[in-house]
Amino acid sequence: MLTLTRKWTHPAVTGMLMIFLAAPLAAQQSGRALSLREAVSLAVQNSGELAVARARYDVSERAEGMSRSAFLPNLYTGSGAAYTNGFPLGAPTVFNVNYVQTLFNRPARGEVRASQQESEMRKAGLDTARDAVILRTASAYLELVKVRHALELMGRERASATKVLEVTRERVAVGVELPMEITRAQLTAARIEQRIAQLEGRDEALQSELRSLTGLPYGQRIEVAQEEVPAGPEDSIGQLVETALANHPELREAESQRRAQEERLKGEKGGYLPTLDVVGQYGILTRFNNYDDFYNRFERHNLVLGVQVRFPIFSSRTSAAVGLAQSRLTAAEAELRNKRSAVEAVVRRQAHRSKEVEASREVARLELQLAQENVRVLQEQFEVGSASLRDLERARLEEMDKWRLFLDTDFARQQARLELLKATGQLAKVFR
């Protein structure tokens, strides 16, 4: 149910509001309504966008393992045969085993650390995709709730418009109204029918979107329940900005990208240092390749084990790689700064918008309360014969208009809360 503020103190109006908000969903209780949290959970499980983001994250983890493999033991074995005529020029061995492991290589180590940061970046990207799915699902769900309420309102408005049209025709027939009033009443009824058709189309579109997001079977009607999005902590705008800078997934993604380029730059600068590898080789030779004709002593079993050190004297590749890494780091830092500014601007804008729609909802609530009071007064006057049925039905039509405005502003309030939670990086925590 919608939360009522303490300013709404009239018992009759409060009771009417609570009963009315429950009425549009009463017919749906034959089947259990899908809760907002359940809809979000299903969307997170079944979203195709999240599946792609998870696959990219898995790829980044595999790439990290690939870059780290150079620093782990690598053992190979094989065999070969070749015809030799004359001096044996490196004839293949019948059986060989080769071992290699890098111990010190700054560019390769920098690539490993950069891959780790890129894996973190993909993880943050996964969180960004998750928040987008949650926002779409929650927005569609809440709008569907609003549309269902609006359809209930339009059904009541249709009945009132029909009564107004009937009374107007009677008054025209006895000469107390101009014929144009019939046309005016017909226009009002036609606009109501148009609005009902639009709402029914929107209802179907929102159900299709929710089925696509949650994986629910097509053709099955989605039952929803009135729910309230948590407002979150009542922090100042400055505190909200700090929370966003610490938790926003897009900022974490940009920060990981910056650190990745920083690690690459450190690694490439280390390309001027020597590299150290552990190497080993074991091979079995045969007399087939005439080794005993050219060497004083032939040994079938041969073993080499040691370290290999390479000192760079002049490397054009290293200078170019350092320059490229520096340029990439500069670009990543600029992107991070821009992202920080954009996130801060969004948080401030969403915080102000949230306050504005809260105020708009309060105005709409008071206007609705006033319209309901007007209907109550006219109802009492009609019962004693001092007000006409047409005046009463027109007041009810006005009440329905105020109801629609209230529902629209209440949905805008909930939407603003969702946007602010997303901007501060708190959206996923709300739906855990």
| Average pLDDT across the chain, whole number | 85
Same domain, 98 and 18: no
Same domain, 228 and 349: yes
Q: How far apart are CA 294 and CA 262, in angstroms?
A: 55
Domain that holds residue 90: 73-104+274-311
Same domain, 304 and 388: no
Same domain, 109 and 162: yes
At 7-45, the pLDDT tens digits run 333 433 344 444 344 443 433 434 468 899 999 999 999
This prediction has a pTM of 0.77
At 155-198, the pLDDT tens digits run 988 888 888 888 889 888 988 888 898 898 899 889 989 999 99
At 238-275, the pLDDT tens digits run 898 998 998 899 999 999 999 999 999 999 899 889 99
Q: What is the mean pLDDT of residues 319-329?
A: 92
Structure token digits, residue 423: 């901007």
Domains: count for the chain: 2
Q: How far is CA 303 from CA 90, 95, 260, 284, in A?
A: 15, 12, 41, 9
Same domain, 193 and 340: yes
Same domain, 205 and 91: no
Residue 336: give its domain's CATH number.
Answer: 1.20.1600.10
Same domain, 203 and 137: yes
Same domain, 133 and 269: yes
Long-range contacts of 191-199 (CB under 8 A, 24+ apart): 192/154, 192/157, 192/158, 192/161, 193/158, 195/154, 196/151, 196/154, 196/155, 196/158, 199/147, 199/150, 199/151, 199/154
What single-letter DSSP state applies at residue 425? T
Which has the closest alpha carbon to 407: 150, 229, 203, 223?
150
Same domain, 99 and 115: no
What single-letter DSSP state applies at residue 92? P
The Cβ-side half-sphere exposure at 148, using a 13 Å CA radius, reads 24
At 304-318, the pLDDT tens digits run 999 989 888 888 888
Same domain, 250 and 331: yes
User: Residue 303 belongs to what H/E stretch?
Assistant: strand 301-310
Same domain, 158 and 234: yes
Tell whether 36 is covered by a domain: yes
Rounded to an integer, what is the distance from CA 215 to the centroid of its chain?
17
Asked if residues 250 and 343 have their Cβ atoms less than 8 Å apart, the reply is: yes
